[in-house]
């Protein structure tokens, strides 16, 4: 059994919250953006490249959450 201090445990909980918050935020953003993109692509299929970029931008939230989680986890270990 690994013993952790209260501060280390709180850092790991914070890492989990960072990942979860980023994932939930990304899911909400992509659901709204995805519906709009389908509408645009139905009218202008040549805009697919631009629309792909708009769909990928919210993924940065998960990347930032992952970075924060890794920094918190590495600080503990």
Q: Measured between alpha carbons, how far is 66 from 57 in angstroms, rounded to an integer?
A: 15
Q: Other CB atoms closer than 10 Å to residue 44's CB: what's the count?
A: 11
**Spatial contact of 34 and 55, defined as CB atoms under 8 Å apart:** yes
- Token pair belonging to 62: 């998960």
- Token pair belonging to 30: 């992509």
Q: Provide mean pLDDT across the span 51-57.
A: 91
Q: Decide if pLDDT at 75 tops 70.
A: yes
Q: Provide mean pLDDT across the span 32-40.
A: 93
Q: Decide if pLDDT at 46 tops 70.
A: yes
Dihedral sign, CA of 20, 22, 25, 28? negative
Fold exhibited by the domain 11-72: F1FO ATP Synthase (1.20.20)
Domain boundaries, the chain: 11-72
pLDDT tens readout for residues 2-29 = 788 898 889 889 999 999 999 999 999 9
Q: Decide if pLDDT at 53 tops 80.
A: yes
What's the whole-model pTM score? 0.75
């Amino acid at each position: 059994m690994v013993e952790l201090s209260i501060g280390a445990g709180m850092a790991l909980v914070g890492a989990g919250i960072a990942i979860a918050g980023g994932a939930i935020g990304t899911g909400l953003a992509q659901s709204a953006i995805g519906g709009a993109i389908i509408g645009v692509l139905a009218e202008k299929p040549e805009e697919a490249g631009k629309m792909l970029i708009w769909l990928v931008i919210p993924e940065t939230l998960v990347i930032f959450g992952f970075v924060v989680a890794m920094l918190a986890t590495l600080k503990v270990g």
